[in-house]
Structure 1
Amino acid sequence: MAATVGRSFLVHPSTCASLIGNGNGKSSFCFSAKPSRHSYTVPVVRAQERPTWLPGLDPPPYLNGTLAGDYGFDPLGLGEDPESLKWYVQAELVHCRFAMAGVAGILVTDLLRVTGLSNLPVWYEAGAMKFGFASTTTLFLVQMILMGFVETKRYMDFINPGSQAEDGTFFGLEAAFEGLEPGYPGGPILNPLGLAKDIKNAHDWKLKEIKNGRLAMIAMLGIFVQASVTHAGPIDNLVDHLSNPWHKTIVQTLSCSIA
């Protein structure tokens, strides 16, 4: 059976396609590039050109590889409905960005705390801190109002793309948040470096963002589990591991926590 990537070919045995003696007791098989009336075609295996999350897997038809980071992974079939798929794409994008911001914030503040440069609490106790400039209730209400406003604008742009870039929709600051397409705002505030200005052709940038975002979500899950088991921050755990790398590992930590 013949196989090729991206282009199929056929093998046609000629009229001499039979075992014949070659004078030394061995047999050979003759092939001809041109088909004859006795020729037949051999089934061809077309190798996949598109990478998938599991090698050899046939991705579902609704995941055709056009989405950034599409490797055919949808074991629950959540994206079968085109409208639901659009929403899941935006939801993943937002979760990725929150995860990247969260991981960066946890690592930076934990590093400042461990090195003694700042008197900050460990990240999972930061929410219990009291601030002198405002009460906890005030901070919560302000956060709800601001986040609610931003999320409402994002949702409105999702259901009606481009509507939030019209004049008068954002206190005259529309140009500062120049919308590129749903999920990808820009402008000097959200895209100060001017990266991916042509968002329609910025597949590489989208792919890099979604890959880093997925990695950040996994890292965030690891930080949650780590804090639950060790009751310490990620930098503390790293320092503890480096102090005795052969005996202070995830295996010993989990075994001690179970015991």
Structure 2
Amino acid sequence: MAAAVGRGFLVQPCPLSFVSNKNTSRPSVAIGHGKPAKGRGFARHVTQAQVRPTWLPGLDPPAYLDGSLAGDFGFDPLGLGEDPENLRWYVQAELVHARFAMLGVAGILLTDLLRVTGLLSVPVWYNAGAVKFGFANTETLLIVQFILMGFVETKRYMDFKTPGSQAKDGSFFGLESALEGLEPGYPGGPLLNPLGLAKDIKNAHEWKLKEIKNGRLAMVAMLGFFVQASVTHVGPIDNLLEHLSNPWHRTIVQTLANSS
């Protein structure tokens, strides 16, 4: 997943020479590294360069992260994406983790808010998995989860290996048109894209960038939730309320210092 963290847009530097002289009504433009055009009048040489944004300013990104992937800011300190096939897999892995993280953050914050306000009687999020449900025992739920998740992940892997294969007639109980896979990692149709956003997925660079940025933020937020739960033994809304009650003395620094 580290290999896929950060991909951007690459524009090579393009020096421009602007030349103006008395005998012309408008300046002429010359692109290249040559000298400014000679003339009787005043000559001016301006060089402009657009530099590719990277996760660390001034850093030269690896050659295999060429900016064609969504959110590419050249971050791969371990060189995990040097192999093109590995890079394809890491991109999909990051996308899946990002989406699970976004769902997890939204679920944790919503249920924690309802719990703290007393609108819903639910356990704190890190104890939710230990709740016993009356309609089925734990073993049954675990088996059902393995079957359903195994089926979905198998379909996703098959589409990754052979793009478009899972959209063929008869490959999904006649529901292929409802899913309408756009490309690996981006299924569509009324079930998974009810708002019809980014139908032209090949040119949906802005939507892809927004999704992966939000997904990365959500993964960092989930890491924060884990640390909070381990240190404070309460949910994120409880931590927020405690901080707001005394912002100058109830911060992450004091919390970590007191826990140690």
Q: 1:7 aligns with which of 1, 7, 14?
A: 14
Which residue number in structure 2 is paired with residue 226 of structure 1? 228
Which residue number in structure 1 is paired with residue 102 of structure 2? 100
Q: Any gaps of 5 or more consecutive residues in structure 2?
A: 1-11, 18-34, 40-45
Q: Secondary structure at the match of 2:182?
A: strand
- Kindly tell me the number of residue pairs found equivalent between the two proteins: 227
Q: Secondary structure at the match of 1:147?
A: helix
Which residue number in structure 1 is paired with residue 206 of structure 2? 204
Q: 1:187 aligns with which of 186, 189, 193?
A: 189
Deviation at 1:49? 2.5
Deviation at 1:245? 1.0
Counterpart residue type for residue 207 of structure 1: L
Distance 1:130 1:204, change over 3 A: same
Deviation at 1:33? 4.8
Residue 246 (str. 1) matches residue 218 (str. 2): no
The 5 A counterparts of 1:142-221 are: 142-221=144-223
Computing the radius of gyration over CA atoms, which structure comes out larger, 1 or 2?
1
RMSD value over aligned CA atoms?
2.0
Which residue number in structure 2 is paired with residue 40 of structure 1? none
Q: Secondary structure at the match of 2:222?
A: helix
TM-score (ref. length: structure 1): 0.84
Counterpart residue type for residue 110 of structure 2: V
TM-score (ref. length: structure 2): 0.83
Which string of whole-angstrom CA distances, capped at 9 and with x for unpartnered residues, describes residues 76-134 of structure 1? Answer: 11110001000000000000000000000000000010000010000000000011101
In 2, Cα distance between equivalents of 1:69 and 1:193: 23
Which string of whole-angstrom CA distances, capped at 9 and with x for unpartnered residues, describes residues 24-43 of structure 1? Answer: xxxxxxx98549xxxxxxxx
Q: Secondary structure at the match of 1:181?
A: coil
**Segments of 4+ moved more than 4 angstroms:** 44-48
The 8 Å contact of residues 231 and 259 in structure 2, kept in 1 or not, is answered as yes
Q: 2:71 aligns with which of 63, 69, 72?
A: 69
Which residue number in structure 1 is paired with residue 112 of structure 2? 110
Q: Secondary structure at the match of 1:142?
A: helix
Distance 1:82 1:32, change over 3 A: closer
Q: Any gaps of 5 or more consecutive residues in structure 1?
A: 11-30, 36-43
Deviation at 1:46? 7.8
Deviation at 1:6? 3.4
Q: Percent identity?
A: 79
Deviation at 1:9? 5.6
